[in-house]
Every structure is written in structure tokens, then in C-alpha cells.
């Protein structure tokens, strides 16, 4: 088998929590050597929960495939070891509080003067300048500050997104930025300094409600499990009491739904429903029409009918049902990897590289590689 794409790339990560570890785990999945530098006591995400056989589900998720070294940067020997690691590194990633690395002599400018080929990446909550520079920024708080919580939930109450979406957004932009910098370095021989804030990353993902508000003047309303601007798009009750989610994206699909599923061709040009803005404005009336017709079907029967006419649809699954999803099983997406608590199962990374499978390497115990790294770099 060919080596993975980032084989030979060394990443040193002074990281904690989710955003930076998520970025570096993507690099590890592509074959990079990721050396995770932890403070004495370890990354505090190790103790977020104990859901995975006593280990934190957060930590397992974002730290597979790394080497853990514990360093106390106040100690001269440990600081010297970090300097040796950085001298051999291709990439340095850190998500300490703004200014912390500069106080340690590890700021981007200082490091790149010493190591011109080094790529540095700083991940912050709100950026390294401005009035929010020193404000603590955890995932839910950034969701609040970007307006995401205001458009999530139902009309009665806002809600947090169910995953660490601000951290994921920041991690993915750091990951893609690092890949871009590695590509540029192949041409120029020089590294670069990258900076990503969670506010900017999630703000980019807020594009639809942001442009709607800024240029339309009307805020996007919370719509629960329904789409805020497309109709029909959401859950609809069937005769067996279960719900099917469906989505009509254009007038061609609307005609197919009316004529071949609802058996109501008269609805195609009904003045309430003739185009999407009208359908959305009359969503409650349209829902009553749809559920009146869907009452003659079971959820499974309706899903099969919708598939037959090319109408996108889905069933609401629990996370446990997703884990048992037949599509994942059919495509052989599960793999086993090691951890301090024994073998664990996880999904292969989303990007498939033809002819090469991502190395599903273990989750490290705290300081598991400290002595080996001291011996290698001292």
C-alpha cells in the first residue's frame, strides 16, 4: 500500500479542548506525525466526561493517532525539548489564550524567524485583536455571539446546536489552511503564519441568515425541524403515526409531488402554492394538505413512494440508529483502533483517498510517549 498523503510531515500541537485537536486529528488521519504537548495533568478535555469505557468521548474523538508528551514549560529541560521538537517540525498548532505563546517566546513571528520553513497556526475564540481578544470563548458562547442560537430551536425557545459546531468550524478552517500552507511551501520553500478565530469560522457558516438579515432586513425565524425559507421541507406525519422528512427544492419536484404522490394535480398552480415563497408563506396550510394525503401511507410506504418519484426524504434516526445505519455497514465504514482502555470502534474519515486507507492509530494515554520523545530529540 502507498504511504498516506502526509507521511513525513511532523506536527507539534500545544493544544487543548476541541478546536485545535480536531484540526490536528485530521492531519494525523492523513498520515502526519502529530506530537501533542500536554501540560502536567493533561489536556482538560480528558475529563469532560467518562462515556467511553471511562475515557472522555470528546478526547477519544479528536485525539486518535497522536503521540502524547507531557512538558512543564516553566522547566528549562522541558522548554529545551519543545524547542528541539519545533526545530524538527513542519507545522506548529496552538490554541492557548491570545498572548500566551508570545509570553513563552513561541509567537508566530519569533518562531518563523528561527525556522523560516515552519508553518504556524493560531486558533483563538475571537481573534488576537479587538475588544473581545481576551474574552473566554467556549463553543456554546461562540454559538451565541454569532447569532446561531437565535436561529436554532423552535418559535418558543432558542437552542444550542447539538454538536460542538463552533469548535468544528474553527478546526476545519485551521486544517484546510494548514494543507494550503504545506502546498505553498512546496513551491516557495517558506512557511507561513495562519490565524483562525472561532467567531470568524462559525460566522462564515452563518452565511444564509447573515445575508438575509443584512440585505433583507428581516431576521430568519426559528423554525424547529422545518426549513426557514423552503417549503415543503421538514417532518410530516403519516398514517402509522411516524414522521417522514421530505424536501422539495424546485418547481419540477413540486409538480412530481403533486401529480405522482399526492394525486392532486390541481395543487400545482394553486395560488397559495405556485412557487416556493408562496408555499413557505402558507406552510401551515400546505402541511395540512400533505398530512391529509400522507395519512393513507405508512412511513416506510411513503418513503418508498417518494424515492420512486425522485423526492428527497429521510427518517429521523437516533444516534444509536445512525451507528447501526445500513449504509455504513454496506460500505464497511467502521474500523477498530486502540486506546488506553482497550479496542474502540470508530468511523473512517470522510475523505477517501483511492488505494489508501486512513491509519486508524490509537488514542494516547497521558504522557505515553514522553520518554521516547525525550530520547529521540535530546
Positions marked active-site: 227
3-state secondary structure of 305: helix
Owner of C-alpha cell 501540560: 39
Determine the Cα–Cα distance for residues 254 and 274; give it in Å rounded to an integer: 9
Q: Residue 117 in contact with residue 186, Cβ under 8 Å?
A: no
| Dihedral sign of CA atoms 244, 249, 253, 259 in order | positive
Distance between the two ends of the chain, CA-based, in angstroms?
Answer: 33
Q: Residue 307 in contact with residue 313, Cβ under 8 Å?
A: yes
48: Cβ contacts below 8 Å, ≥ 6 apart: 56, 57, 58, 59
Which regions of the chain does DSSP assign to beta strands (E)? 10-14, 33-38, 66-70, 91-94, 119-124, 153-154, 157-158, 193-197, 233-237, 243-247, 312-314, 334-337, 344-347
With CA atoms as reference, report the closest residue to 35 among 19, 13, 15.
13
Owner of C-alpha cell 474500523: 335
Integer Rg of the chain from CA: 25
3-state secondary structure of 155: coil
Q: Which helix (H) or strand (E) holds 28?
A: helix 19-29
With CA atoms as reference, report the closest residue to 13 among 74, 76, 127, 101.
101
Amino acid at each position: 500500500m502507498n504511504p498516506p498523503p502526509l507521511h513525513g510531515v511532523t506536527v507539534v500541537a500545544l493544544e487543548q479542548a476541541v478546536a485545535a485537536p480536531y484540526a490536528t486529528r485530521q492531519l494525523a488521519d492523513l498520515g502526519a506525525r502529530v506530537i501533542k504537548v500536554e501540560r502536567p495533568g493533561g489536556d482538560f478535555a480528558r475529563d469532560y466526561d467518562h462515556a467511553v469505557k471511562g475515557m472522555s468521548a470528546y478526547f477519544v474523538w479528536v485525539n486518535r493517532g497522536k503521540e502524547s508528551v507531557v512538558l512543564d514549560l516553566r522547566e528549562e529541560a522541558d522548554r529545551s525539548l519543545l524547542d528541539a521538537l519545533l526545530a524538527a517540525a513542519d507545522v506548529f498548532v496552538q490554541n492557548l489564550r491570545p498572548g500566551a505563546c508570545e509570553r513563552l517566546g513561541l509567537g508566530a513571528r519569533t518562531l518563523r524567524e528561527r525556522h523560516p520553513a515552519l508553518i504556524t497556526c493560531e486558533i483563538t475564540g475571537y481573534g488576537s485583536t479587538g475588544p473581545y481578544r481576551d474574552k473566554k470563548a467556549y463553543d456554546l458562547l461562540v454559538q451565541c455571539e454569532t447569532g446561531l442560537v437565535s436561529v436554532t430551536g423552535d418559535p418558543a425557545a432558542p437552542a444550542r446546536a447539538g454538536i460542538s459546531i463552533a469548535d468544528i468550524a474553527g478546526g476545519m478552517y485551521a486544517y484546510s489552511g494548514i494543507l494550503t500552507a504545506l502546498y505553498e511551501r512546496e513551491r516557495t520553500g517558506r512557511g507561513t503564519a495562519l490565524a483562525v478565530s472561532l467567531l470568524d469560522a462559525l460566522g462564515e457558516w452563518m452565511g444564509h441568515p447573515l445575508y438575509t438579515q443584512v440585505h433583507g432586513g428581516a431576521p430568519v425565524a426559528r423554525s424547529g425541524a422545518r426549513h426557514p425559507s423552503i417549503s415543503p421541507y421538514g417532518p410530516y406525519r403519516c398514517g402509522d403515526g411516524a414522521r417522514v422528512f421530505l424536501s422539495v427544492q424546485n418547481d419540477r419536484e413540486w409538480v412530481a409531488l403533486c401529480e405522482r404522490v399526492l394525486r392532486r394535480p390541481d395543487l400545482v398552480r394553486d395560488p397559495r402554492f405556485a412557487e416556493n415563497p408562496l408555499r413557505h408563506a402558507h406552510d401551515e396550510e400546505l402541511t395540512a394538505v400533505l398530512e391529509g394525503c400522507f395519512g393513507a401511507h405508512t412511513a416506510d410506504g411513503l418513503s418508498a413512494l417518494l424515492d420512486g418519484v425522485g423526492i428527497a426524504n429521510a427518517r429521523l434516526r437516533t444516534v444509536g440508529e445512525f451507528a447501526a445505519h445500513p449504509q455504513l455497514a454496506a460500505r464497511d465504514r467502521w474500523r477498530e483502533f486502540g486506546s488506553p482502555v482497550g479496542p474502540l470502534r470508530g468511523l473512517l474519515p470522510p475523505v477517501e483517498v483511492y488505494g489508501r486507507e486512513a491509519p486508524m492509530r490509537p488514542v494516547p494515554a497521558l504522557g505515553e510517549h514522553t520518554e521516547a520523545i525525550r530520547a529521540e530529540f535530546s
